[in-house]
Amino acid sequence: MSGNGNAAATAVSAEPVTSTLWASGRAVQQLAPGCHPQSLLLARIQTDSVVATLKALYPGLQFEIIAMSTTGDKILDTALSKIGEKSLFTKELEHALEKNEVDLVVHSLKDLPTVLPPGFTIGAICKRENPHDAVVFHPKFVGKTLETLPEKSVVGTSSLRRAAQLQRKFSHLEFRSIRGNLNTRLRKLDEQQEFSAIILATAGLQRMGWHNRVGQILHPEECMYAVGQGALGVEVRAKDQDILDLVGVLHDPETLLRCIAERAFLRHLEGGCSVPVAVHTAMKDGQLYLTGGVWSLDGSDSIQDTMQATIHVPAQHEDGPEDDPQLVGITARNIPRGPQLAAQNLGISLANLLLSKGAKNILDVARQLNDAH
């Protein structure tokens, strides 16, 4: 099989030698100066990590890799919240899945909408890495924190969620949009004098091996994270039982339940990248804790609350019902249904609580203001 000019690919084969399973991720681009001289960027690193795990689990299978550019990768001069496309980082990849050009696609879970197009499902959610946001400082401000940056320092972020929360917490700072892949944003920070710091996902920096660039990790009291942040999702064709069985072993039960609750919360709020919505989840002593919040664009108005539910985290390979429908776009037949439903109900309950306190008005105003600017 051959890809188009933008494509580079990854694949897996479920049958020994005679057939190959094709896995895809988003395309690689140039590295920024000053970063480790790695030949692969984040999307490819993420895809490779999933394929390496599958290869270890199924040593008789054959793997190939295909990387593709998406709409979100190509539009680098406009804030994501302004583009108005729900599948910025998924549409082209899903098209390849639909045409049987690839058999599975690796995504950052936070890029996947809570309602997938018909015919697709998230067949695996891998163990979550650190979901929190990190601050990367300009070289002259290394050793500082957001709190100790000088008055009127400019902090770059591509996220309305981050900007709204951080403006509320650090009113002495200015927040401006910054687009581009991880490398581009780091280059803008290091080579230009516009930004004193930028906010990035800790997990992405860690996967790239850039632990030394993390100047500060933001705790939930400072900035809650995006739904699904830090986890990888493997998207497949919903009716392809062989591939579903193949990737299903990658489900991490605790990550799965946390992300079901988060995605149910977001879906019930009808949120997305055009409004500031954030979460924090934790499993402790058989309890799943979900904190969620919504903010006005400037952070001046917000509603937050926490709920919990008793949820048993099942063993990874316990058998679940055979014909489970999707929950918030996720299929996990090897995980018992009860805990999944409990996690979904927790997300819906918290969303209803916030809506009863006026969250809809905050979100509606945020959408209108975002669309107007």
Active-site residue list: 111
**26 Cβ neighbours under 8 A, 6+ residues apart:** 43, 44, 67, 68, 69, 70, 73, 89, 93
* Phi-psi category of residue 180: left, alpha or beta, with phi > 0 → left and psi -120 to 50 → alpha: left
Question: How far is 82 from 80, CA to CA, in rounded Å?
Answer: 5
Structure tokens at 177: 């949009």
Direct distance between the N- and C-terminal alpha carbons of the chain, in angstroms, rounded to an integer: 44
**74 Cβ neighbours under 8 A, 6+ residues apart:** none
Q: Within 13 A of 22's CA, how many CA atoms are on the CB side?
A: 19
Angle at 278 between CA 272 and CA 281, to 5 degrees: 125
Give all strands (DSSP E) within the chain, no chain letters: 8-11, 21-26, 63-68, 104-108, 120-125, 133-137, 154-156, 174-176, 197-201, 216-217, 232-237, 277-284, 287-295, 302-310
Query: Residues 42, 43, 44, 47: what is their CA dihedral angle, to the nearest 10 degrees?
Result: 120
Angle at 67 between CA 247 and CA 94, to 5 degrees: 60
Angle at 326 between CA 330 and CA 21, to 5 degrees: 55
Name the strands in the sheet holding 197-201, side by side, starting at the edge strand that comes first in the sequence. Answer: 174-176, 154-156, 197-201, 133-137, 216-217
Question: How far is 373 from 366, CA to CA, in rounded Å?
Answer: 11
